[in-house]
Amino acid sequence: MGRWEVVEPIGAGGWATVYAGRPAVDGEGPPGRSEVALKVMPTAGLAPRQAARVAEAARREVELGRGAGHPRLVRLLDSLVLSSPGHPALDGAIVLVMERARCSLRDLVDAGTLAGGTDGGGMTEDEGGRLIAGICEGLAHLHAAGWVHADLKPENVLIGEDGSVKLSDFGLATELTGTHGYAQPMGTLDYLPPERWKAPLGELGVEVRPSADIWALGIVIHEVFASGAAPFTGATPMARGAAVQEYAEGRAPLRMDQAVPEFWRALAADCLAPTHAERAAHTAESLSRRIAAHEAGRSAEPEPPPRTAHRGRRARAAAFLAVTVCGAVGAAVWTYAGRDGGPAPGRPEASPAPVRVFNAERGCQDRFDRDPQCSLGLAVDPRRPYTAENVVPTRVWHGDVLEADCELPDGEQIIDEEDRESTRWFRVHLRSGVAREAWLPAVRTKDRPALPRCPHAAS
């Protein structure tokens, strides 16, 4: 094929077959590498519209592969059109010559091996985090350059011989014109965001935004740490798509595998916010910064002291992003919800009273595993609707003990699962985390301490 020799097939997809290749003439290959990947995209036998789509996909790959110039995007080395009258199936085929990778992220996830190539029975947090950080860097560059990948999945994340991460397969990449672009209604169903399932098809196609890549990233994060399992279950892609719609419409909670570490669970949950508007705040660049800060914090953390059994449940509340009874979602952080210790920093001495959190769902009352589906949210402002935008990051569970210093009798009315309703709220102190105080609705505790009225609510 031109100046490239075909060695063997290494993969096939709907539009193309990929072969291992090498330079037919010594010295013409990429420095330090004798092998390349030859992506062959046939056009023979296709209807004119289909052939045009293949040619357009190849054009996008060439434009991004040659112009991107970023270490997290696969590099395009050459492109050509085959002229082979004696082989009608190949005549007119488009060939893209790219740097060859060792494997894909899908290969690693399916094999349960580490990026370093050793058997490990699953992805370690360090290796998984490094791979996800690389994906975010690639997405951030793409989005800044005005493109949406539009087909992010483990198969399209390549791993180099040195373990480097590179995004590939830009056949569905969409160029932005302002805040969005238009594309044909194509893509891998398991990675489509909720809005794409019902997107209207116009003359230019369907709207595509960078938040579509963020949704796909959330699915990939879950798969990396959950041995390939998706957060939305079903026997077929359509069934899993139906589960996505139920979640997006508030009829089902977001359920994530317990194998996903806390930080990555929270990151994935932000990526999997049900609407474009909610995901728009979580750009690839901001997610990269969060990952960098997390990794820097982990490297600086001293070894934690051994924990005794009697402090286990209340000593710290592992806070996961989960749906509350009213559908509010918050970001995950570590927090302390115990009774021992002094007042929260920056607050005057008071006479706080303990209040024990109560969850009316009986299935959550005897659980000790901090299941995210059993977590409850604390409000930022008790006078505003109890929605996702009005929930602090910290989560609490049935049986947690908080310290309350005052009450508000005329806040937002809250109704729990047993149809108990109340406008009474308690201001509680949080020992750590982003917020240092929050509001617990009275329907979330059986305790009725004698507390002074709060001078004012949060604004």
The reported pLDDT for the residue numbered 321 is 25
The reported pLDDT for the residue numbered 419 is 67
The reported pLDDT for the residue numbered 338 is 30
For 12, other C-beta atoms within 10 Å of its C-beta total 11
152 neighbors 172 (Cβ within 8 angstroms): no
Helix, strand or coil for residue 29?
coil
Please return the burial class of 131, using the count of CB atoms within 10 Å of its CB with bins 0-12, 13-18 and 19+. Answer: buried
- pTM higher than the cut 0.75: no
Tell me the two tokens of residue 210: 């960078």
Residues in the chain: 459
DSSP 293: H
The reported pLDDT for the residue numbered 26 is 63
Tell me the two tokens of residue 458: 């949060």
The reported pLDDT for the residue numbered 328 is 32
Tell me the two tokens of residue 125: 């947090």
Is the domain 103-300 a CATH 1.10.510.10 member?
A: yes
Domain ranges of the chain: 4-99, 103-300, 309-444
Long-range contact pairs involving 381-385 (C-beta distance under 8 Å, separation at least 24): 381/439, 381/457, 381/458, 381/459, 382/408, 382/411, 382/412, 382/425, 382/439, 382/441, 382/457, 382/458, 383/408, 383/411, 383/412, 383/457, 383/458, 384/412, 385/412
Give the whole-angstrom CA distance, residue 196 versus residue 206. 8
407 neighbors 423 (Cβ within 8 angstroms): no
Quote the radius of gyration of the chain (alpha carbons, Å): 26
Give the whole-angstrom CA distance, residue 6 versus residue 3. 10
Give the whole-angstrom CA distance, residue 329 versus residue 378. 10
The reported pLDDT for the residue numbered 29 is 55
The reported pLDDT for the residue numbered 318 is 27
List Cβ neighbours of 33 (8 Å cut-off, separation of 6 or more). Answer: 99, 100
What is the pLDDT tens value at each position of the chain, 459 positions in all? 888 899 888 877 767 888 989 888 765 555 545 688 899 888 877 777 777 778 878 787 787 776 556 889 988 888 888 888 888 788 888 888 888 888 999 989 887 654 334 444 456 899 999 999 999 999 999 999 889 999 999 999 999 888 899 998 888 888 888 777 877 777 889 999 999 888 777 777 788 899 999 999 999 999 999 989 999 988 888 999 999 999 999 999 999 998 999 999 999 999 999 999 999 989 999 999 999 999 887 755 554 444 333 323 222 222 222 223 333 333 322 222 332 333 334 444 447 888 889 887 776 777 666 777 778 889 999 998 877 678 888 888 888 888 999 999 999 888 766 667 789 999 998 865 556 789 999 989 988 888 999 986 554
Q: How many helices (H) and strands (E) does the chain have?
A: 11, 22
Give the whole-angstrom CA distance, residue 80 versus residue 84. 12
Say which CATH superfamily domain 4-99 falls into. Phosphorylase Kinase; domain 1 (3.30.200.20)
